[in-house]
Amino acid sequence: MHITRSKSLFEKAKNFIPGGVNSPVRAFRAVGGDPIFIKKADGAFIYDEDDNEFIELINSWGPMILGHNHPMIKEAVIKAMENGTSFGAPTAREIEIAELITNMVPSVEKIRMVNSGTEATMSAIRVARGFTGKDKFIKMEGHYHGHGDSFLISAGSGAITMGAPDSPGVTKGTAKDTLLAPYNDLQAIENLVAANKNEIAAIILEPVPGNMGLVLPKERYLEGLRKICDREGIVLIFDEVMTGFRLAKGGAQELFGVTPDMTTLGKIIGGGLPVGAYGGKKEIMEHVSPAGPVYQAGTLSGNPIAMAAGLTMLQYLNSHPETYLELNQIGSKLITGISNSLSKLGLKYTINHIGSMYSLFFTDKEVFDFTSAKNSDTSLFGKYFQAMLKRGIYLAPSQFESLFLSIALTDDLIAKIIQANEESLKEIL
């Protein structure tokens, strides 16, 4: 595999862009080697600047659930472009997409469009604070909610201690209002709630976290959080930027039957264009400006081109529920094949899998929270990543990411991935 052009582009990029990339994981730091610069994508394939072809399992970190460059979405974008690219004024299409989302995700009664998942979670926390009049919130270790200051907090020394900033530039003042709990541990939440009685505005979490690798909720965990929030008057926020419209048309909340007070959305919602959104119960969302006093605004929010792409995507998913069955089948076939090779070759592994998301961890211990995720052999993962890449399979360049499948994966392509997986495992053994 030649990557000469990608290599020289990366060298040049580093002169003008910090680390050569516009988002850190793209730099391949976690797996070694140089990043590949992409020229185009179509269906299940991406093509790099050296004209290598890859089957890829990232799908732009989720949005491309129908595969890349889908003709329907492309057409919607081109058609919308003919009427101008931005107005900064309300449009009919914004009502259409808002109404559709409230139908697909019933816990969302009112919704506000923004431009990224980061904006969605930052705004949701502000609204939860404005609504409850409380300052603190609980987040789970290893969950990612974008790069807003108050979310960049690492594990503190004990469950009840204040968080410490995870990045320079996040102040201690900001960090002190973020309380941390391990995922899948209801007792830790009870302890935090008891130690911060009547001070907690919200609990925010990825109901099915995908940003420490994929991890699944234990039985009755999400229900348990719902009960605590009801009892304590805490706003329960499901960050479904990743899981929304992916695990089901109504997201993880539909699949697990647990209803949050607020939901944040992103990724699939924009059909590949930059869109995020936050919504929830009417009584909470009525606090958002100009209906209420909590300020939040956006020059390009509800952008007509982005709304055209998002609306087309969501309309398709809403009217084709069989898409999710298809994705489940694709996921099962792939995971079965991959697991067979891993077992046959005697590797220590754990695969966490749900629908069209999965992660392979090189550990034989259960992975159920951030600490157990960190048990896995990341240097072996780096070798596995490179071995797969060499064979034309582009995985997420980090152990601590989920993979995302699309309906563009045919049986033939699944067989190719399974074969590349077996060869790669033999190479790294």
Ligand X SMILES: *Cc1c(COP(=O)(O)O)cnc(C)c1O
Q: Which of 63, 266, 310, 355 binds ligand X (CB under 6 A)?
A: 266
Residue 56 makes contact with ligand X by CB under 6 A:
no
Residue 211 makes contact with ligand X by CB under 6 A:
yes
The β-bridge partners of 271 are: 273
Is 134 or 145 the residue whose CB approaches ligand X more closely? 145
197 is a catalytic site residue: no
Q: Is residue 283 exposed (0-12), middle (13-18) or buried (19+ Cβ within 10 Å)?
A: exposed
Is 20 or 266 the residue whose CB approaches ligand X more closely? 266
**Contact 428/420 with Cβ under 8 angstroms?**
no
C-alpha distances out from residue 6 to 13, 34, 49, Å: 10, 8, 6
List 48, 136, 144, 324, catalytic entry: 144
Is 177 or 206 the residue whose CB approaches ligand X more closely? 206
Radius of gyration (Cα) for the chain, nearest Å?
A: 21
List 48, 177, 185, 239, catalytic entry: 239
Q: Is residue 333 exposed (0-12), middle (13-18) or buried (19+ Cβ within 10 Å)?
A: middle
User: Is the peptide bond prior to 217 cis by the omega test (within 30 degrees of 0)?
Assistant: no
Is 258 or 420 the residue whose CB approaches ligand X more closely? 258
By rule CB under 6 A, what string of x and - marks binding of each residue 110-129 to ligand X? ------xxx--x--------
Is 146 or 397 the residue whose CB approaches ligand X more closely? 146
Strands (E), 182-331: 200-205, 235-239, 262-265, 276-280
Q: Which of 136, 145, 249, 353 binds ligand X (CB under 6 A)?
A: 145
How many angstroms separate the CA atoms of 385 and 338, rounded? 14
172 is a catalytic site residue: no
Q: What is the DSSP string of 266-308?
A: -GGGGBTBS-EEEEE-HHHHTTBTTTSSB----TTTT-HHHHH
144 is a catalytic site residue: yes
Residue 241 makes contact with ligand X by CB under 6 A:
yes
By rule CB under 6 A, what string of x and - marks binding of each residue 327-366 to ligand X? ----------------------------------------
Binding stretches for ligand X (CB under 6 A): 116-118, 121, 144-146, 206, 211, 239, 241-242, 266, 276
